[in-house]
């Protein structure tokens, strides 16, 4: 069998553009009281209502519409938190934008304990990343349907701050 170097099959590495990140907007999500659901399949389950908020940045401005939620699964051993959030934004021009965001939050035990107790911590002290998908009709916000995004998050006692970056 002949030897095929990877570069000859897939092309040279310099043929591929390096992905980058471009800051698009920030979502400040107001949160309601945590609703504990108990332990399901070994995970502590919680629902955190999304009650409002705002969106601001170079590519999008508007508000967070009430009615969404974060569905959380927390691993008891170390506090690793997986979040599935669904909610809606309303752009300044009235367009409604659906958001489905999956995130992961982890930290050293002391930091995670303090976060879970509601203490405000620097986002540099823990890992909180998300991969949102947007749903919007034709018009000026269609670009949200046509790119991939990565978020860096911060958890505050009464809100979450999500900084959204377009992968270029």
**3-class secondary-structure state, position 139:** coil
Q: What is 19-167's CATH number, 2.40.160.20, 3.10.20.340, 1.25.40.20, 3.40.50.150?
A: 2.40.160.20
111 in the Ramachandran plot: left (φ > 0), alpha (ψ -120 to 50) or beta?
alpha
CB-based contact 146:157 (threshold 8 Å): no
- What are the sequence ranges of the domains in the chain? 19-167
Tens digits of pLDDT across the chain (168 residues) = 556 555 555 678 888 899 999 999 999 999 999 999 999 999 999 999 999 999 999 999 999 999 999 999 999 989 999 999 999 999 999 999 999 999 999 999 899 889 888 888 999 999 999 999 999 999 999 999 999 999 999 999 899 999 999 999
**Which residues lie across from 71 on neighbouring strands?**
47, 84
């Amino acid at each position: 069998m002949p030897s095929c170097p990877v570069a000859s099959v897939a092309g040279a590495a310099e043929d591929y553009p390096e992905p980058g990140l471009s800051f698009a907007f920030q979502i400040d999500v107001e949160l309601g009281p945590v609703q504990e659901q108990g332990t399901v399949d070994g995970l502590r389950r919680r629902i955190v209502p999304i009650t409002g908020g705002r969106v601001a940045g170079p590519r999008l401005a508007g508000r967070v519409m009430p009615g969404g939620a974060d569905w959380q699964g927390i691993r008891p051993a170390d506090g690793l938190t997986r979040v599935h959030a669904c909610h809606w934004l309303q752009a300044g021009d009235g367009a409604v934008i659906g958001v489905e965001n999956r995130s992961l939050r982890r930290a050293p035990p002391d930091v995670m304990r303090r976060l879970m107790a509601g203490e405000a911590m620097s986002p540099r002290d823990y890992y909180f990343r998300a991969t949102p998908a947007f749903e919007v009709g034709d018009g000026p916000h269609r670009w949200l349907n046509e790119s991939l995004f990565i978020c860096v998050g911060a958890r505050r006692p009464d809100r979450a701050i999500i900084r959204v970056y377009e992968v270029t």
